[in-house]
C-alpha cells in the first residue's frame, strides 16, 4: 500500500490532526450500515495509520537526537568543572 494513494495530502498534517482524522474514519466505519464500500475505507485507515507511525517514529528520532545533544553539553560542562 502506498501512502501516496490517499485522497488528502496527510504528509502535511500534524500528528494531532492525523489522529483526529483516524478517529473520524473509525467512527464513520462503526456507524456504517452498508459494508459494501467498507473495504476501501479500512484500507485508507490502514494507510493513514502507517503515515501516523512514520511521523511518530520521525518525532521520536528527533527527540532522541536533541536529548543526546543536551546530555553531551551537560557532560562537557561537568567535565570542565571537574578539571578546573
Q: Give the residue from 1, 10, 5, 20 showing the smallest Cα distance to 51.
A: 10
CA separation for the pair 27, 15 (Å, rounded): 18
- pLDDT tens readout for residues 37-65: 788 889 989 999 999 999 999 999 999 99
50 contacts: CB under 8 Å, gap ≥ 6:
1, 3
- pLDDT tens readout for residues 17-38: 999 999 999 999 988 887 777 8
**Cβ-contact 29, 38 below 8 angstroms:** yes
What was the pLDDT predicted at 51?
A: 92
For residue 13, name the pLDDT band (cuts at 50, 70, 90). confident
Provide the whole-model pTM: 0.69
What was the pLDDT predicted at 84?
A: 65
Amino acid at each position: 500500500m502506498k501512502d501516496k494513494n490517499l485522497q488528502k495530502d496527510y504528509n502535511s498534517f500534524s500528528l494531532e490532526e492525523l489522529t483526529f482524522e483516524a478517529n473520524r474514519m473509525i467512527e464513520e466505519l462503526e456507524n456504517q450500515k452498508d459494508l459494501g464500500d467498507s473495504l476501501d475505507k479500512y484500507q485508507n485507515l490502514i494507510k493513514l495509520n502507517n503515515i501516523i507511525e512514520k511521523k511518530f517514529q520521525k518525532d521520536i528520532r528527533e527527540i532522541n537526537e536533541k536529548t543526546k545533544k543536551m546530555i553531551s553539553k551537560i557532560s562537557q560542562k561537568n567535565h570542565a568543572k571537574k578539571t578546573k
